Amino acid sequence: MIIIMLGAPGTGKGTVAGFLEQQLGFKQVSTGDIFRKNIQEGTELGKLANSYMVKGELVPDDVTIQIVVDRLEQPDVQKGIILDGFPRTVAQAEALNTILAKKGQKVDMVLNLTTPEEEIIERIVSRRVCENPECKTIYNTIMNPPKQEGICDKCGGKLIQRQDDNEETIKARIATYMEQTSPLVAYYQKQGVLRTEEVSQRIGRLGKDIADDIAGEIKNGNH
């Protein structure tokens, strides 16, 4: 089964994908995490990706598509995959359809998360992530705090703030989303696989609630 997480930065794609991975056993694959791992390790890919990420721009399609093509070949994603942060352009979506068609597969569900704009910035600046590359659990100091401040509940790792989670870069990331990624909403709507869910603290609907609903439906065979 192939699930895509769609939505502006700060809507909770990674959080929902993490819960779905736990509940369904499908592998979460985040292109952002792959780039950040390469940045930490100082690879050539990391250097290239970082030059775009610090500006809130997208890493070029050819580079990003190749990473996903390679990742889709690996054994741990054969049961199911939750693509978190890919595709982000129409060209990436078309490349994905082509690759999947060759394997006799297709995109099963596109989960489009929306959040009121005023909540997005607040949520991103209060986001913390576990620095342990094997864990990377996402917390929020307001909505989803760890039991002990600054420490990951799951692995005891240190919680850090992402370099691009500052107000200036967030605004650029939102603009990039509007321009280059938001056309994918109509794109997947046309393919009949779009499901839109609002994540909002104000209406009391958080990522966990959405993941619970969707995992329940999938387990009951409703997809």
Q: For the CB of residue 151, give the shortest distance to ligand ADP in the complex, in Å.
A: 22
207 binds, among ligand ADP, Zn ion, none (CB under 5 to 8 A by kind): none
Buried b (16+ CB within 10 A) or exposed e, 84-112: bbbbbbeebbebbbeeeeeeeeebebbbb
**Of 91, 99, 125, 135, the one binding Zn ion by CB under 5 A:** 135
- Alpha helices of the chain — where are they, by DSSP H? 13-24, 31-41, 44-53, 61-72, 90-102, 117-125, 167-176, 183-190, 207-219
**Of 28, 64, 137, 140, the one binding ligand ADP by CB under 6 A:** 64
List of residues 6+ apart from 181 with CB closer than 8 A: 6, 8, 88, 89
**Of 120, 152, 173, 218, the one binding ligand ADP by CB under 6 A:** 173
Active site (annotated) includes residue 13: yes
Nearest Cα to 30, choosing from 64, 57, 76?
A: 64
| Active-site option among 36, 123, 127, 128 | 127
Q: Which of residues 23-52 bind ligand ADP (CB under 6 A)?
A: 30-32, 35, 52
Q: Which of residues 122-141 bind ligand ADP (CB under 6 A)?
A: none
Size of the site for ligand ADP (CB under 6 A): 19
Residues found near ligand ADP in the complex (CB under 6 A): 9-10, 13, 30-32, 35, 52-53, 56-59, 64, 85-86, 88, 92, 173
